[in-house]
Amino acid sequence: MLIFSQLTGLVLIALLVLARGQALPAGVLQPALIAGLLSMTSIAAYYQSLAIGVMGIVSPIVSLSVAVPVIVGLASGERPSATQLAGIVIALGGVLLATRQKSAGEHHQTTSRTSVLLAVLSAVTYGFVMVFYAQGAEADPYWTVVISRSASVIALMLVFAVMRPRLKLTKATTLPVLAVGLFSVSGDALYSVASTLGYLSVVSVLSSVYPVFVVILAYVFVHERLSRPQQLGVAAALVGVALIAAG
């Protein structure tokens, strides 16, 4: 389903770029291509770490990907206010708590070291995806997403050509796949635009609290029970977002 959702997102953002009628500007191609290839690396490492490891360990590690753009932003001279810095710390702590899950079972423990390494790889690579998205967005955020998505789709097709997995798209799954493509590419585009309007260190944190909303939506629609740490994490993340916005 990943390849279908990626293709859907690519078609949608490509139509938007065509409608804008602006040529590919200088400064977009290189960071966008790197972002697209790193994105596929991050996804592959993340899925494999989940397959052999414990979700409660993997998810919080991967959520720390935002540390990369925060460090890059601060190192480049960004100076958020004291309130925003406090919000960043609180929001990140909230995300870590909200993504904490119970162990999936003892049979995963023997492969946890490899899983942790893959989770770290996924976090670091996706952190740099956010950085390169922001770099490309300085020239044009929409072209950045198009080039990045194109690189991702080409990489997926090469993998598909080698592995030849079965592709099964039914009527029941078509709408969800289309929705995933739409929301995914919209998130990338909105992040790219936002990175041109504010500090990378702030924008990246705000865009990285999405696991909190996944937890909330799972509680509302799937009736998943939230543990006490998850409840605290959701509250902390929302408080952190409020502090960042107020700062």
Residues 238 and 4: their CA atoms lie apart, in Å, by: 33
Considering Cα of 47, then 49, then 50, then 55, what sign does the dihedral take? negative
CB atoms within 10 A of CB 103: 12
Give 17-36 pLDDT, tens digit per residue: 999 999 999 899 999 999 99
Considering Cα of 177, then 206, then 135, then 121, what sign does the dihedral take? negative
- Domain residue extents for the chain: 2-168+194-246
Give 51-101 pLDDT, tens digit per residue: 787 776 777 788 888 889 999 999 999 999 899 999 999 988 888 888 776
Amino acid sitting at position 147 = I
pLDDT confidence bin for 1, thresholds 50/70/90 = low
Q: What is the DSSP-derived secondary structure letter of residue 100?
A: -
pLDDT confidence bin for 183, thresholds 50/70/90 = confident
Tell me what pLDDT residue 95 has: 84
Give 215-243 pLDDT, tens digit per residue: 787 778 777 777 888 888 888 888 988 88
Tell me what pLDDT residue 190 has: 93
List the structure tokens of 159. Answer: 């993998």
Average pLDDT over residues 171-196: 86
Q: What are phi and psi of 208, to 5 degrees?
A: -100, 5
Tell me what pLDDT residue 69 has: 93
Cβ proximity of 241 and 125 under 8 Å: no
pLDDT confidence bin for 40, thresholds 50/70/90 = confident
Cβ proximity of 49 and 58 under 8 Å: yes
pTM score:
0.83
Q: What are phi and psi of 141, to 5 degrees?
A: -65, -35
Tell me what pLDDT residue 159 has: 77
Q: What is the CB-side half-sphere exposure of residue 99 using CA atoms within 13 A?
A: 22
Q: What is the DSSP-derived secondary structure letter of residue 138?
A: T
* Furthest CA-CA distance within the chain: 56
Cβ proximity of 95 and 209 under 8 Å: yes
Cβ proximity of 120 and 61 under 8 Å: yes
What burial class does residue 106 get, using C-beta atoms within 10 Å of its C-beta: 0-12 exposed, 13-18 middle, 19+ buried? exposed
Give 98-148 pLDDT, tens digit per residue: 877 654 444 444 456 788 899 899 999 999 999 999 999 999 999 999 999
How many percent of the chain have pLDDT more than 90?
Answer: 34
Tell me what pLDDT residue 225 has: 78
Question: 1 or 152: whose pLDDT is higher?
Answer: 152
* Residue among 177, 214, 191 nearest 6 (CA): 177
